[in-house]
Amino acid sequence: MPLEFVRQVPAQKALANQGIYNGMVGVSLLISQWVLSGRSQLLTTAIFLIFIVVVALFGSLTVKKEIFWLQGMPSLVALLVLLTLLI
């Protein structure tokens, strides 16, 4: 990302928004692991992982393709492992 772009106020707001989004998703995943148990914990985690995969697909289609590999693929692998536990 060019430094000139990052110095622009709209870009800074967008990056801050992205950071807050990622932080809240991470915190929500952690809280669901501590608060929930059993099948409800697995289902909640699966929903969050599906959400992350969808957002990564959107990002890879609209911004750059590496987003899916960096954000979506780990979530997709975790989701597949989780689904084996649900079945």
Q: What is the DSSP string of 3-18?
A: HHHHTSHHHHHHHHHH
Q: Which pLDDT belongs to residue 81?
A: 92
Cα-Cα-Cα-Cα dihedral sign, residues 22, 23, 29, 32: negative
pLDDT (tens digit, 9 = 90+) per residue, 18-37?
A: 888 888 888 988 999 999 99
CA-based end-to-end distance of the chain: 42
For Cα atoms 73, 78, 80, give the angle at the middle one, nearest 5 degrees: 95
Q: What is the pLDDT of residues 27-74, one digit of tens each?
A: 988 999 999 998 889 889 999 999 999 988 998 898 888 889 988 999
Taking the C-alpha atoms of residue 87 and residue 82, their distance in angstroms, rounded to an integer, is 9
